[in-house]
Amino acid sequence: MEGARHLPGGVMRINIGPSHPATHGILQNIIDLDGETVLKAVPVIGFVHRTFEKMAESYTYNQFLNCTDRMNYVSAPMNNIAWTNAVEEMMGLTIPPRAQVVRTIINELSRITDHIICNGVLGVDVGAYTGLFYLYHYRELITNIQEKMTGARLTTTFTRVGGLEMDIYDGFADDVKEIIRSFPKILKDFEGLFIHNRIFIDRTKGVGAIDTATALSYGYTGPNLRATGYDYDVRKAYPYLVYDQVDFDIPVGVDGSAYDRFLVRNEEMHQSLRIIEQLIDNIPDGPFQLDDYHITLPPKMDVYTKMEELIYHFKIIMDGVIVPEGEFYSAAEVANGEIGFHIVSDGGKSPYRVHVRRPCFWYYQSFPELVEGGMLSDLIAVMSSLNVIAGELDG
């Protein structure tokens, strides 16, 4: 039996998506099938291209935070922190320690929400709904913290250039400690459902495997690269915020398959909890933003009563932060990998050009290589375990 290629009908071409339950967002794949085996897969993207890079040319540096929210909308504060970090590095600023520690805590909480969705939905895509329902309550608790911090559940627009936009609320430490106290047990229940589950292992072990050299050739970063065995993490390689002062490990996998990616993300959630635990009791006192009113807004009472502060406030709201002329690239570690901001400034109030190096865009290119030769159901597991967020892929 030679397969469908030799039958008169031949190979069947089907279309998955763009609107499809098993795709994380809008992704279209046109695949050629021989029975259940995928012969060729062609991804089509661009269905939610929202022109962030062009909009940046008419926004100020602080207004662009609205755009970074909506890139990886599952963990919006991480992109915000990556952007303000990039602008501050370009300007050569060092923000106060209080702001750095709070940013790190929110960064790790946000990473946990992203991995909750990725691992939970990987379970849903291979048929197990219960895991997502167990974990989702903790995503709600973390979005409640984000809402109390910034006013919005999902599109947080967290931090400004020069520090935080407002100080942490009373009870922040208690809320976070409640999560650290109760989340590990639920995570253990979740792991019990999947890690030694015969069906889950059969669906994901060895599926979509890739070796490190090919992965690096494609520009993989993040958990997908770490699952192949190479331990690159921007937090350890080029430390920023307070990552060089805390203790944490980088989990790596073995063969880069969907199972290994699941395990790497799962362990990263544990490591994030470890980082938060080390920081939450030691938030330093002090100012939450830089004392330079050319960059940060002065306190409101001073704006109402003093002249210079009023002028500074006006200049910052109208013109924003002025970044010196030049070209700069800075990277940070979001949940999917390395996000890079390539900023070209001409000394004006808006950037001349912003290019976002989106991790999803680089590793989703390898999708045909990962699924060709496998079965159709493996394609679904691979797409799910890669964690492709359509907003970040820019379609």
Partner 1 sequence: MRGLNSVLNIELKNHLVKMFPVRGFTVEENRGILVIQADASDLVNLMNFLKTDPLCDFNVLIDLTAVDYLHKRTQDKRFDVVYMLWSTATMQRIRVKVTVAEGLEVPTVSGIWKGANWPEREVFDLFGIVFSGHPVMERIVMPENFRGHPLRKDFPLEGRGEEYLIESIMIHPPDSGSGSK
Partner 2 sequence: MGIETLLGDTVLTTKISEFVGWSRKYSLWPFPFATACCGIEYMSVLNSDFDLARFGAERPSFSPRQADLLVVLGTITYKMAPVLWQIYHSMSEPKWVISYGACASSGGMFRSYSVLQGIHLIIPVDIYVPGCPPRPEAFLDSLIKLQKKVAEESVVNPEYKAKADYLEKALGSTEYQISKNNTKQQ
Query: Residue numbers of the site for partner 2 (CB under 8 A)?
Result: 18-21, 25-26, 46-51, 54-55, 66, 69-70, 73-74, 117, 132-133, 136-137, 139-140, 143, 153-155, 390-391, 395
Output 52 or 341, the one with its CB closest to partner 2. 52
How many residues sit in the footprint of partner 1 (CB under 8 A)? 44
- Our finding on whether 239 is near partner 1 (CB under 8 A) is yes
Q: Determine the Cα–Cα distance for residues 374 and 208; give it in Å rounded to an integer.
A: 8
Q: Which helix (H) or strand (E) holds 227?
A: none
Residue 347 found at the interface with partner 1 (CB under 8 A) = no
Q: Which does 87 bind (CB under 5 to 8 A by kind): partner 2, partner 1, none?
A: none
Residue 361 near which of partner 2, partner 1, none (CB within 5-8 Å, type-dependent): partner 1
Sole binder of partner 1 in the list 73, 134, 136, 352 (CB under 8 A)? 352
Residue 387 sits at the vertex; the CA angle it makes with 208 and 71, to the nearest 5 degrees, is: 150
353 touches partner 1 by CB under 8 A: yes
Shorter beta-carbon distance to partner 1: residue 94 or 282: 94
SS3 call for 343: strand
Q: Does 346 bind partner 1 (CB under 8 A)?
A: yes
Round the CA-based radius of gyration of the chain to a whole number and report it. 22
Cβ-based nearer residue to partner 1, 154 or 250: 250
- Give phi and psi for 226, each to the nearest 5: -65, -30
Q: Is 357 in the site for partner 1 (CB under 8 A)?
A: yes
From residue 369, alpha-carbon distances to 20, 38, 224, 225 in Å are 22, 11, 14, 15
- The secondary structure of residue 60, as a DSSP letter, is -
Q: How far is the CB of 170 from partner 1 (least distance, A)?
A: 34
- Written as six digits, the tokens of 199 are 């069906």
CB of 152 to partner 2, least distance (A): 8
Q: How far apart are CA 60 and CA 297, in angstroms?
A: 14
Cis bond upstream, residue 18 (ω within 30)? yes
* 89 interacts with, out of partner 2, partner 1, none, CB within 5 to 8 A per kind: partner 1
Q: How many residues does the chain have?
A: 395
Considering only the stretches 149-157, 214-222, 257-265, 281-289, report the one whose residues sit in contact with partner 1 under the rule CB under 8 A.
214-222
Nearest-angstrom CA–CA distance, 69 and 289: 21
Cα separation of 235 and 108, whole Å? 11
Q: How far apart are CA 217 and CA 215, in angstroms?
A: 5
Choose the binding region for partner 1 from 162-170, 197-205, 284-292, 325-333 (rule: CB under 8 A). 325-333
Q: Which stretch binds partner 1 (CB under 8 A): 141-149, 288-296, 298-306, 334-342?
A: 334-342
Residue 319, number of CB atoms within 10 A of its CB: 12
Nearest to 207 by CA among 3, 367, 59: 367
Binding-site partner at residue 21 among partner 2, partner 1, none, CB < 5 to 8 Å by type: partner 2
Whether the CB-CB separation of 34 and 373 falls below 8 Å is answered with: no
- Contact positions vs partner 1 (CB under 8 A): 45-46, 49, 51, 53-55, 57-58, 89-90, 214, 216-219, 230, 232, 237-240, 326-331, 338, 340, 342, 344, 346, 352-353, 355, 357, 361-362, 364-366, 394-395
